[in-house]
């Protein structure tokens, strides 16, 4: 019997090819999004599956109690905790500490900014990171590189035994190379540095119990040891450590153990968290997939019921021949399952098409291997979706009465009312329109950040990473190039999050302090970037001797926000005032700059300090005359090859840097794909509704045409009910879409507005797509020959 169901299902699907293609594509779109979510969920459980003994390895968390008695969980801990656990508790087999940060490393004048982890010797055994060659980094000034970092630094040659340089740590010897790191790991880094390499200032953190954000602590218990021993010991350690501590705003903290097996998916959002997945992210992804699939299921219901008139007589004959209702339901649901399995195949092909997209690789399926279990889940999910999609049509179609359908197919009503189906259409278009408004708001904000006026010159400005080349030598060479108008130097590029962050005081000890961004610049920077001095003077010209009290490094420029933060009042009153940087360096304010946006638009303008520090310069900012861009760029490339032949020329126009930094095209493209799928599915659902209605009213259309009705009148008659559905969907989606867009924009201190250009454009697209779908079908119905529809009369 089952074989007959499948054979008949294939015959019916082949007979109605257009109906089948529409349903397969619709279901495939929804299933594809669900497959992405299922793959990412599997990947979330794959995190850390390479660690040895994960069942007895734990990461220690710190629960910090604020002054308002709020408890905030941190993934990090004070560094002395590991030593106490290893020394005083016999049930602890090993402990490992990890400190992660970014730094610049230099190899043969090649300078690269890499993420690194400072690790204890036990890191390699507790967490089980394997080496492809060499030895672990256990001695001072040693490191192990990832394969990618080794290739960037040394090409294809063997890096073991070679050295890299860090301005603070000095020369570092490479002792080994990791095997390729698992993508699904909560720790991501480019090299692992031995903990003994850290400077004296960093070593202070290793004995400071107040620094609970310093790094991460991992504990491996001995075999057959109950975790309850560790859980009892941790609060006691925290109580002893904090007994005599005085925090600035916190009341205290305590520790707890997190099993390595429970690291991902995470049930809570941790401060100083690592790369593990959270249940919230997975639930959001699966919800998006299920909503998309639900829209496709609505379509299947609508299109199947729209075709019910052609199946009514089949049902009547089968019932007269002795078929019972459950057999008819089984037949229709078998068709639905076959359709869903076909949709799974199409969904997998769609998945292969979008798999190379950077967003998909980075956030969804990167590093996840599909196995037999996953394919069983996919097939089971597809069959379940088919059964759910086919239940309502099977229930309705199997309920037809033979006497009614065999007497006359015309005038048959599937439902006495179609309010439910109209509601489905409204829901489909409302969801699609809300997604489109939110997406357009995001795209406009990202384009705004990529192209807006930041308050400094970016047009015709070329940023050149120095990568070890002396900035003054390169600047002197570039100043002789035709078309180069001015050259300046800086430690960072404006327009993103980078920059040193420090504290400034009016007195060396005590008194008010503010946090400020600090950039190193030369005396040409203000003029080159077209910044405005409100009071005072620019940084003084550099001299041969910059070591005295009047050296340029003693003077700073601040912005208006820094003046406001210190409550100075008038900017002129600030000039000449002394400040202390990081409690150790006394500087004098030379001038005050007009506020400009030197960070991203996520933040309001922050206090800013510009200071002459040649050792910190990392970029040259080259202003090029309009019309001379090509010739000047070619000349600059020749100079670079002469001065630094082993380092690629990595200059970038400032406008291109801002656009690439803020446009996020990959994210927008992926979200546009999802929104396009939602709209396509909604239009297919509308097509099913229009098809059903026009077929049930075909005799009415014939009579009206005989009575003299024009084609445009018939089109309006058939279309108005559906246009009302689109207008209702628009009325529902506009306020909800506005709220969804503002929920995103509120994260930015400076953002676009959601006005007519956003809402009007989305409504216009809704009416355009919906109107086209309605118009094509109703136009065909209006052109039908009345003789065909009235022949039976």
Using DSSP's 3-state secondary structure scheme, residue 17 falls into helix
CA 256 remoteness from chain centre: 30
CA 12 to CA 237: how far, in whole Å?
72
Helix or strand run (H / E) with residue 270 = none
pLDDT tens-digit readout, 674-699: 788 777 777 777 777 777 677 777 77
Of 441, 395, 434, 431, give the one whose Cα is nearest residue 414. 395
CB-neighbour burial class of residue 779 (10 A; exposed 0-12, middle 13-18, buried 19+): middle
pTM value > 0.75: no
Mean pLDDT of the chain: 83
Find all residues with CB under 8 Å of 11, minimum gap 6, and list them: none
Tell me, what's the pLDDT at 5? Answer: 65
More confident residue, 732 or 570: 732
Beta strands in 499-596 (DSSP E): 500-505, 513-520, 533-536, 555-559, 578-581, 585-593
| Sign of the alpha-carbon torsion through 157, 159, 165, 168 | positive
Tell me, what's the pLDDT at 56? Answer: 92
Q: What is the length of the chain?
A: 793
Neighbours of 727 (CB within 10 A): 15
Tell me, what's the pLDDT at 552? Answer: 57
CA 193 to CA 105: how far, in whole Å?
12
Tell me, what's the pLDDT at 95? Answer: 95
pLDDT range class, residue 511, cuts 50, 70, 90: low
Asked whether 68 and 95 are in contact (CB, 8 A), the reply is: no
Say yes or no to pLDDT of 649 above 80. Answer: yes
Of 141, 140, 142, 160, give the one whose Cα is nearest residue 150. 160
Locate 709 and state its tokens: 């009705």
pLDDT tens-digit readout, 451-507: 888 999 999 999 998 877 888 999 999 999 999 999 999 988 998 766 677 778 877
Locate 570 and state its tokens: 């008038």
Locate 716 and state its tokens: 């309006």
Find all residues with CB under 8 Å of 744, minimum gap 6, and list them: 438, 441, 442, 445
Say yes or no to pLDDT of 534 above 70. Answer: yes
Locate 388 and state its tokens: 């759910």
Say yes or no to pLDDT of 673 above 70. Answer: yes
Asked whether 320 and 401 are in contact (CB, 8 A), the reply is: no
**What's the half-sphere exposure (Cβ side, CA atoms, 13 Å) at 7?**
4
Say yes or no to pLDDT of 135 above 90. Answer: yes
Using DSSP's 3-state secondary structure scheme, residue 516 falls into strand
pLDDT mean over 411-418: 46
pLDDT mean over 70-92: 92
**At how many degrees (to 10) do helices 419-451 and 279-306 cross?**
130
> What residue has token string 């003046």?
563
CA 386 to CA 367: how far, in whole Å?
30
Asked whether 589 and 552 are in contact (CB, 8 A), the reply is: no
Tell me, what's the pLDDT at 233? Answer: 94
Say yes or no to pLDDT of 415 above 50. Answer: no
CA 314 to CA 321: how far, in whole Å?
11
To 5 degrees, how large is the angle CA 372–CA 376–CA 382? 145
Neighbours of 545 (CB within 10 A): 8
Asked whether 446 and 663 are in contact (CB, 8 A), the reply is: yes
Helix or strand run (H / E) with residue 143 = strand 142-145
Tell me, what's the pLDDT at 87? Answer: 92
CA dihedral 78, 83, 88, 92 (to 10 degrees): 100
pLDDT range class, residue 544, cuts 50, 70, 90: very low
């Amino acid at each position: 019997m089952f074989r007959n169901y499948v054979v008949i299902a294939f015959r019916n699907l082949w007979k109605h090819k257009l109906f089948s293609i529409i349903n397969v594509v619709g279901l495939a779109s929804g299933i594809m999004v669900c497959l992405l979510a299922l793959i990412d969920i599997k990947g979330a459980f794959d995190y850390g599956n390479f660690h040895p003994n994960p069942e007895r390895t734990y990461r220690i968390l710190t629960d910090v109690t604020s002054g308002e008695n709020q408890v905030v969980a941190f993934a990090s801990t004070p560094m002395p905790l590991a030593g106490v656990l290893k020394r005083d508790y016999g049930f602890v087999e090993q402990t490992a500490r990890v400190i992660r940060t970014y730094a610049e490393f230099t190899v043969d004048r090649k300078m690269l900014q890499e993420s690194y982890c400072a690790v204890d010797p036990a890191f390699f055994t507790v967490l089980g990171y394997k080496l492809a060659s060499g030895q672990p980094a256990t001695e001072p000034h040693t490191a192990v590189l990832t394969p990618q970092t080794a290739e960037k630094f040394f090409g294809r040659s063997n890096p073991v035994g070679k050295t890299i340089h860090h301005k603070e740590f000095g020369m570092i010897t490479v002792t080994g190379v990791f095997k390729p790191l698992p993508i699904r790991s909560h720790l991501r880094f480019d090299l692992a540095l031995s903990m003994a390499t850290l400077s004296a200032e960093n070593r202070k953190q290793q004995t400071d119990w107040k620094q609970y954000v310093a790094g991460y602590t991992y504990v491996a218990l001995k075999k057959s040891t109950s975790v309850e021993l560790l859980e009892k010991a941790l609060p006691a350690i925290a109580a002893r450590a904090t007994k005599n501590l005085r925090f600035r705003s916190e009341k205290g903290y305590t520790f707890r153990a997190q099993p390595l097996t429970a690291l991902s998916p995470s049930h809570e959002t941790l401060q100083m968290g690592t790369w593990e997945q959270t249940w919230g992210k997975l639930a959001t992804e699966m919800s998006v997939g299920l909503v998309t699939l639900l829209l496709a299921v609505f379509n299947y219901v609508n299109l199947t019921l729209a075709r019910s008139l052609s199946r009514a007589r089949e049902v009547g004959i089968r019932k007269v021949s002795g078929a019972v209702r459950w057999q008819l339901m089984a037949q229709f649901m078998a068709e639905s399952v076959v359709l869903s399995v076909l949709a799974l195949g199409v969904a997998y092909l769609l998945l292969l098409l979008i798999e190379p997209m950077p967003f998909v690789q980075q956030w969804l399926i990167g590093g996840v291997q599909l196995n037999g279990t996953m394919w069983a889940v996919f097939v089971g999910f597809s069959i379940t979706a088919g059964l759910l999609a086919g239940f309502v049509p099977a229930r309705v179609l199997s309920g037809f009465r033979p006497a009614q359908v065999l007497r006359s197919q015309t005038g048959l009503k599937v439902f006495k009312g179609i309010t439910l189906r109209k509601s489905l259409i409204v829901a489909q278009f409302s969801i699609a329109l809300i997604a489109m408004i939110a997406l357009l708001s995001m795209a406009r904000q990202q384009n705004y950040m990529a192209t807006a006026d930041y308050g400094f010159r970016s047009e015709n400005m070329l940023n050149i990473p120095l990568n070890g080349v002396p900035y003054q030598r390169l600047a002197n060479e570039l100043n002789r190039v035709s078309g180069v108008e001015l050259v300046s130097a800086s430690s960072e590029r404006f327009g993103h999050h980078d920059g040193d962050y420090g504290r400034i005081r009016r007195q060396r000890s005590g008194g008010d302090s503010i946090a400020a961004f600090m950039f190193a610049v030369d005396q040409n920077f203000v003029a080159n970037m077209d910044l405005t001095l409100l009071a005072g003077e620019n940084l003084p010209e550099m001299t041969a001797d910059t070591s005295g009290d009047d050296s340029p490094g003693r003077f700073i420029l601040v912005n208006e926000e820094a003046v406001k933060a210190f409550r100075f009042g008038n900017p002129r009153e600030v000039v000449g005032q002394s400040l202390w940087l990081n409690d150790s360096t006394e500087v004098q304010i030379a001038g005050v700059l007009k506020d400009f946006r030197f960070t991203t638009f996520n933040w309001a303008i922050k206090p800013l300090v510009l200071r002459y520090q040649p050792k910190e310069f990392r970029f040259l900012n080259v202003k090029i005359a309009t019309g001379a861009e090509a010739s000047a760029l070619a000349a600059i490339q020749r100079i670079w090859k002469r001065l630094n032949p082993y380092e690629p020329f990595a200059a970038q126009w400032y406008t291109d840097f801002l656009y690439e930094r803020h446009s996020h095209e990959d994210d927008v493209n992926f979200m546009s794909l999802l929104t396009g799928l939602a709209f396509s599915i909604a239009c297919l659902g509308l097509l099913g509704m229009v098809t059903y209605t026009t077929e049930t009213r075909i005799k009415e259309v014939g009579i009206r045409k005989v009575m003299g009705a024009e084609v445009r009148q018939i089109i309006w008659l058939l279309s108005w009910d559906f246009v009302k559905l689109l207008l209702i969907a628009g009325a529902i989606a506009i306020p909800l879409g506005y709220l969804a867009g503002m929920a995103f924009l509120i994260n930015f201190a400076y953002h676009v507005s959601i006005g007519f250009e956003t809402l009007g454009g989305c409504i216009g697209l809704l009416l355009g797509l919906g109107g086209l779908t309605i118009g094509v079908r109703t136009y065909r119905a209006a052109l039908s020959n009345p003789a065909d529809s009235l022949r039976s009369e």
